[in-house]
Structure 1
Amino acid sequence: MADQYLIDLINVGLGALQEYLALHVLLCLVPAFFLAGAIASLFSKESVLKFFGSDTPKYISYPVAAVSGCMLAVCSCTVLPLFAGIFRRGAGIGPATTFLFSAPAINILAIVYTAKILGYDLGIARAAIAISFSVVIGITMAAIFERKVSKKEGLVAFGDEKHKYSVYLFILLLAILVLPEFISDWRLLAALEIPLVLITISLSFKWFSREELESWMSETWFLVKQITPLLLVGVFAAGIIVELLPAEYVVAVVGSDSFFSNFVASVAAALMYFSTLTEVPIISALTELGMGRGPALAMLLAGPALSLPNMIVISRIMGIRKGFVYITLVVLVASIAGFAFARLWLA
């Protein structure tokens, strides 16, 4: 009996995995991987990170810190060494923590995948709230811990010819990625997508050197190897969670859109470890069991930003006091954002 039950659970997980592979990989993750790889390899990190210094005006440093996660294609793992680097090299605590919170949440893969699986309302809300509330966190951290006012200097010009071509490539890849969302007819989709892919390939060879193209493919393959196995495990586990976890328990704890439910979801997400993108299938499974839309957003915001290992690293980099304040702010911001989103969503 126990053996049969275990086999049934495995079959449930495999069924969820089969459904995921059939519906989402080719038209969602594959273009997104190429897009993320291009961002990581062809955009100059230095040209973005140089704006985080204390000599950069706040009206420049905070917006750049809030949106640069999309351009740098960082995940919850790779954001920590980047944060450590810019913080130790003299970045203000405000822009540095703005980047730390926003970057993993607006990873292009994360946004696309969230919108695809959980709905465009949650995908857009995740990006918009992560960007806006990251500035709130950064300004609060600066107000508490920055006592010294630095002299502001001019801003170094951004970008060059290569950066211009990188932007063009970004637009083309983004078009390839989103086109299937608006066209359901396969013949029309193929008639548009295939020429667009061929044009992108042709222009890529024209715009970039062989070394740059190899770097792009290498970065894309690295992301595939790093993310795909964990993502498939997450999808498999999410299918089993739906089968094992009583829906009544989920509804009782995070089924409503009260502030308490959002706070519980934020704390739970902060204590858990989500590998890149694995939060999406797990949260999708919980929503099937009755979790509210607000708590789902709260988990999407707190989960990538925090985990127990992440908190330890952050506290070692910033110090225990700064780390504690930052962690508290993330949990509160995620709770408030989920609560507010639920009010608007239900209106």
Structure 2
Amino acid sequence: MEYITLFFSALVDLSNAMAPYILFGLLFAGILHELVPDSIVKNHLGKDSIVSVIKATIFGIPLPVCSCGVIPLATSIKKSGASNGSTLSFLISTPITGIDSILATYGMFGWVFTIYRVITSTIISIIAGILSNMYVKKEEIRAARQTKPKAVFSMAAPTTENTIMNFSTVQTQQSSQKEEVCSDGSCDEKKNGIVKSTFSYAFGTLLKDIASPLLVGLLLGALITVAVPENLSEILVKYNWLSYIIVIAIAVPMYVCATASLPIAAGLMLAGVSPGAAFVFLSAGPATNTVTIGVVKKMLGTRTLYIYLGTIIVGSIIFGLGLDYLFRDVNVKELVHMDEHASLIAWASTFVLWGFVLFYVIKPYFFKEKECHDGSCGTV
């Protein structure tokens, strides 16, 4: 009974510490989604250069896209002509950060930890992209020679050009339509539509995508906080390298988004694990999982896959060691910011967040049959 009480107490503390920042981050992410069109991202990543890699990394940092959501976006960017390095750096930087994750990291661990996380993820992404462009050129040349004869006699090039022309025509028509919409005095309705779309994306699409992993992350974080025995944390603190190996072995294949990984990292630190080991989980966990590994191999090749995994693992460990050195004189548990007396805003945010999370997690089980009553399931 005592453990159950401690578990729920830890769960409430984690929720109160994170909820305000997650909700604000989601709202900011919705605004960002409406202001920054996807075409801007796609049009700057085609060159096989360091500048293109840096652009891809910078574009990816604030985007509120999780580990699974970045896969179709990266695939689209690659098909639009982005280089291997640009695609890879975007694929790494985007799921590690995100404006909602950045704000939640600040709320949980403070600004020093947050800045360190953003800078190091940027460095890892850029290095991976540069290495990919350097060492994959031979593979691309070999593949181009094999496919070149087929491309000469195929209709692929005209089809692509027609597609681009059609897409441009659609964009022009859409632009004209937008001008016509505002010419009849309906701009106020358009603004209302933008506000509605912002909230719909933030608390509908985005929060729905992360609801399940966030729930799991909060539960695991609270469980780790109370379940890790004292002697195990002492072993991990004494033999730091062991904790790094354990965390890497768990983080690389596991699917966890950047925001949902925060309560797990907090639980590790509250159990006595070093900040560096927790950082390794925050870095490698969102950036890799079994699905992304398969996609990278298929889309970018085996050599790029090795660069992808090697850069993330080695970079995370090196920067984890650096973080342990930076906080060598700081009590680990003092880094996690959880007030005993949460404010009214924190409690309200917790209720709102848990309401949405439980709704999106439970909804498929209760409304699945109801949605099929109209016969639409057979038409999907």
> What TM-score, normalized by structure 1, do the two folds share?
0.73
For residues 104 and 40 of structure 1, what CA distance do their matches in structure 2 show?
15
Q: Which residue of 1 aligns with 2:118?
A: 127
Q: Which residue of 2 aligns with 1:202?
A: none
- Residue deviations 1:161-218 (CA, integer Å, cap 9, x gap): xxxxxxxxxxxxxxxxxxxxxxxxxxxxxxxxxxxxxxxxxxxx97963332222121
Indicate which of 134, 139, 161 corresponds to 2:130: 139
The structure whose Rg is larger is 2
SS at match of 2:259: coil
User: 1:236 aligned to 2:236?
Assistant: no
User: Which residues of 2 match residues 240-259 of structure 1 at below 5 A?
Assistant: 240-253=223-236, 255=237, 258=240
- Residue deviations 1:119-142 (CA, integer Å, cap 9, x gap): 322211110111122111111111
SS at match of 2:134: helix
Q: Which amino acid aligns with 1:66?
A: T
Could you tell me the percent identity over the aligned residues? 25
Q: Which amino acid aligns with 2:292?
A: N
Q: Which amino acid aligns with 2:104?
A: Y
User: Which residues of 2 match residues 203-282 of structure 1 at below 5 A?
Assistant: 209-221=191-203, 222-253=205-236, 255=237, 258=240, 261-282=243-264
Indicate which of 279, 288, 293 corresponds to 2:275: 293
SS at match of 1:72: coil
- Residue deviations 1:97-147 (CA, integer Å, cap 9, x gap): 111111111211111112211232221111011112211111111111124
For residues 112 and 23 of structure 1, what CA distance do their matches in structure 2 show?
11
- C-alpha spacing 1:304/1:146, structure 2 compared with 1 (3 Å): same
Shift of 1:333: 1.1
Q: Which amino acid aligns with 2:38?
A: K
- C-alpha spacing 1:229/1:323, structure 2 compared with 1 (3 Å): closer
Higher relative contact order (CA 8 A, sep 6+): 2
User: Which residues of 2 match residues 184-203 of structure 1 at below 5 A?
Assistant: none
CA contact (8 A) 1:32 1:109 kept: yes
- Residue deviations 1:18-38 (CA, integer Å, cap 9, x gap): 22344442x322221110111
For residues 139 and 223 of structure 2, what CA distance do their matches in structure 1 show?
53
Shift of 1:149: 10
User: Alignment length, in residue pairs?
Assistant: 283
Indicate which of 107, 110, 114 corresponds to 2:98: 107
CA contact (8 A) 1:227 1:276 kept: no
CA contact (8 A) 1:93 1:146 kept: no
Q: Which amino acid aligns with 1:123?
A: T
CA contact (8 A) 1:258 1:339 kept: no
Gaps of 5+ in 2: 142-186, 330-380
CA contact (8 A) 2:62 2:97 kept: no
- C-alpha spacing 1:136/1:16, structure 2 compared with 1 (3 Å): same
Gaps of 5+ in 1: 1-6, 151-204
SS at match of 1:317: helix
